[in-house]
Structure formats: structure tokens, C-alpha cells
Amino acid sequence: MSGDVCKLSMGDIVSLCKRRGFIFQSADVYGGLQGIYDYGPLGVELKNNLKAAWWRSIVHERDDVEGIDSSLITHRLVLQHSGHEDTFSDPMVDCRDCQCRMRADQLMDGKCESCGSKNLTEPRQFNLMFRANFGALQDESSFVYLRPETAQGIFTNFKNVVDSTSRKLPFGIAQMGKSFRNEVTPRNFIFRMREFEQMELEFFVEPGSDEKWHGKWVEERVNWWKKQGLDSDKLKLFHQPKEDLAHYAKATVDILYEFPHGFEELEGIANRTDFDLGSHSKNQEELNLFAKVLPNGDSNSKLVMQDLENNSQFVPYVIEPSAGLDRGILAILTEGFRREILENGSERVVLRLKPHLTPFKAAVVPLAKNNPRIVEKAREIANHLKMLGLGRIKYEDVGNIGKAYRRHDEIGTPCCITVDFDTFEAVEESVTVRDRDSMRQRRIPIKELEFFLKEFYNPGS
């Protein structure tokens, strides 16, 4: 068996996703919505498995992180005081010849990316947030935003979490969920979208320890992506220069992955200092959300932690590892996709996903779908394996064992379990288990299948 036939393109990924039910263009029957995608039967399984892996690593396996799930609809004042209303924008230009609209900072040689014309408008700032009417009135005093990031829901709940959990520094608050940005030019499939999901952690630390924790979280996040199957050679770190940092950041390190369109950001780890908690503590009379009466009677206080040893208070710094879930899915599909030439000259497409991420954990295949005894045993095995809690088990009754193997290679199923005529020949009933990557087959007693799969799908694998 040889290596890949040709270099992977984004078109290969898009074709696989539509053909096998991973990802579809949203509202496709009406022409679609640019930058909006729906996850299909296999895509939602892959997505949920990656989310579960992140939550397990960030929350369940640590003693210093709590989780929350904040609302998608965001109070206008939250995003006003966070700086989003004033700064969350991209420079936009229009082509006067073809009317194409694009980001000014992504143009090549000042030319329209659609027709190549240089007859462009002057750049103007375009705010990326989606506004929505709130309540019965529809005027300038009654609107809210769809959240542009999950982070602000964490910051505005900081005091609630501290008061309800009695947490001491250092500790973190984690959240996964949808965010919305009205991108000028969404592009590269699910890499840049208008509706997307984030996996974010805000890790609060004492000032002075922030640089140490920033370095720790960069290392932690790189190692986690490697555990999800990403090749070290396709990952690199980019330390943002000071002139390119966000207004709130002391330092930011981006984890870049080599997507089909080149190295791009997969996750960013930012040192946000005390900007966020400090910003939400200002103008308390207007907000009336975060007021806290201190011993000196000051009701215009910041969101602070107590330093009991020094009898003082301080605003925590925050380290933010922020990953795009959809970008993670794209990276994992890119990493796993292989087009291989077999020894007999035929070609197969295989998706080499880590076992804990695969949509189906195993496929149970009857060799002869018109043989009642084989079919009954295959269904019995499939039903039993479904009760183990490993994930989805597929009963695959296609009537052609070769087609079944090829289909499950292409969607990443790590093994196929075949019930055949030999199953009943010996005193101890057995099945054929075929490995996705090597295509090797071996006989396993049916009574050992449960142990085999539990070992194979250990979450830490």
C-alpha cells in the first residue's frame, strides 16, 4: 500500500462531508446562507465527541475549573463596557466594478479578490456584531446583541461563580457554545463562519503569576491537540507582535495548524490582564449589576478577590485559551483524510480519526443478510454493544462486505465486526474483527468483544 495519491484540497474535505453526512450548507434547498453550515448525522457525533474530550480535559480532569453555560442573547451594556461596540470591527471595502464586498486587510496587491479590479472604495469600519430587537418595542432603546464570543458570559458571572463555589485563585471558568459574528467575507468552508462554536477557558490568577500561567496553558493546549491526533509537524506557535495585539492583551500566542489553505489559527492563548473584570466594574451606577459594598462603604468597587494575608483586594488577571470548535473539526478531518492505493491497484479513502472521536465506534456486519441465523446473531451483538456506553454502534446490513468496509473506512469507523459462517463452527462462537488502518483481520471470541472494545476506546487512548 502506497501513501497519498495527491495533496489534499479543501474540495476533498467538502465533498467527503456532504457525501457522507458530516456537514451540509445551511438552507441548501434555497440556495444556502453564506458562512452558515449544518452538521449532519456523522458530523454531530464527531462534534459532540470533540466537545466531550475538551470538557473532560478542562473540567472533569482538573480540580481548579468550573463550567457554566451562559445565554446567547447579551445585554447591550455588557458589550459596551467590554469595548466590543467601539472596537469589534473589520475594515471593509467594495469593488465599484463588480460590487464584491471584502475585508481591506486581506486584499492582495490592493485588487478585488473577485474580478481583480483596483477600483475600490475607501476602507470603512464594519461592526461584526448581530443586533436583535428585544421585547415588544422596536427602537434604539430596546435592542440586544447575539454574543460575539463566549468569554463575556464568563466575566459577568465571575462573582456568581466565586460566591457559589468559594473558589480561591488560581481557578478557571469554562464554557462551550455558539457565537455569532457578521463576517465581511466568510471563507474556507467551516474555518471562518458567521455562526460558530467556541471552547473557551478564562483562568484567573494573581497579578505577577500571569506570565508563568500563560506559558503553562500554551504547553497544555498544544499537547491536547496532539492527543486529538494532530501531527506535531503541522502545528506551530505564533507569538503575536506587540503592535498586533488586541487592546486588552499583554501577550497572545496562537496555535497554528496547516489547513488545506495554509497555516492558520486553531486556538489562541491570551494574557488579558485585568482588563475584563476591571471594565465590567466601571460605571456601576449605570450597570447596577456588579456593585459590591466594601468595608469602607465604597459601592463603586471592582470585581475583586480578597488577599487575607495583606488585608487588601486586587483584580485578578486572566489567561484565556480560546479554541474554535469548528476549526478543530476541520483540522481533525484534514489530519485524518487519506487517499490510498492498495496492492491490487484499487483506491480507498480512509479517515484515520482517533477512536474517541469517531462517529461510530464499531460496525457490526452480517456476511449474508439473507441468512436468518447470521442476521440474528449480528443484531444480538450490535444490541449488546450499544449498551456499553461507548458511543454509537452501527448495524450495517448492506449485503456486500466489501462495500461495508469501504464505507466505514471513509467515515472513520475504527473496526468492523463481521458475523460469518465460521461464527458457529467452533464450540466458542467468534467473529472477524477488521482494523480500519491496517485492514488486518483476526478472530475474536464473542464473549471477549466487550473487553476488547472497552480497552480500545479508553478515553485516554
Q: What is the mean pLDDT of residues 142-146?
A: 89
DSSP 112-152: -TTT----BPPPEEEE-PPEEE-SS--STTSEEEE-S-SHH
Residue type, 27: A
Q: What is the CATH number of the domain that holds 397?
A: 3.40.50.800
Domain endpoint, select from 282, 314, 332: 332
178 domain-assigned:
yes
Query: Above 70 in pLDDT, residue 289?
Result: no
The pLDDT score that the predictor gives to residue 298 is 38
Query: Taking the model in full, what pTM does it have?
Result: 0.90
Tell me: the pLDDT tens digits for 387-411?
A: 999 999 999 988 789 999 999 999 9
- How many domains, in total, are found in the chain? 2
Domain endpoint, select from 298, 316, 332: 332
The pLDDT score that the predictor gives to residue 194 is 96
- Same domain (yes/no): 87, 213: yes
Helix (H) or strand (E) holding 13: helix 10-20
Q: What is the mean pLDDT of residues 359-366?
A: 97
Burial code (b: 16+ CB inside 10 Å, e: under 16) for 363-377 equals bbbbbeeeeeebbeb
Would you place residue 303 in the very low, low, confident or very high pLDDT band (cuts 50, 70, 90)? confident
Query: Above 80 in pLDDT, residue 142?
Result: no
The pLDDT score that the predictor gives to residue 89 is 79
Q: What is the mean pLDDT of residues 292-309?
A: 57
343 or 258, which is more confident?
A: 258
Percentage of the chain with pLDDT > 70?
93
Average pLDDT score over the chain? 90
- Same domain (yes/no): 76, 30: yes
Q: Which of 137-146, 336-345, 363-372 has the lowest mean pLDDT?
A: 137-146
- Same domain (yes/no): 321, 436: no
Q: Which of 80-89, 158-167, 425-434 has the lowest mean pLDDT?
A: 80-89
How far apart are the C-alpha atoms of 4 and 9, rounded to whole Å?
12
Q: Are 124 and 139 in contact (CB under 8 A)?
A: no
Q: What is the CATH number of the domain that holds 255?
A: 3.30.930.10
How far apart are the C-alpha atoms of 326 and 315, rounded to whole Å?
33
Query: Above 50 in pLDDT, residue 2?
Result: no
- Same domain (yes/no): 285, 363: no
State which residues form the domain around 402: 358-456
Q: What is the mean pLDDT of residues 118-141?
A: 84
Q: Determine the Cα angle at 222 with ends 220 and 224, to 5°.
A: 70
- Give how far Cα 269 sits from Cα of 27, 211, 213, 231, 322, Å: 34, 12, 11, 20, 6
- Same domain (yes/no): 321, 369: no
The pLDDT score that the predictor gives to residue 287 is 46
425 or 357, which is more confident?
A: 357
The pLDDT score that the predictor gives to residue 302 is 62
Would you place residue 6 in the very low, low, confident or very high pLDDT band (cuts 50, 70, 90)? low
Tell me: the pLDDT tens digits for 158-217?
A: 999 999 999 999 999 999 999 999 988 899 999 999 999 999 999 999 999 999 999 999
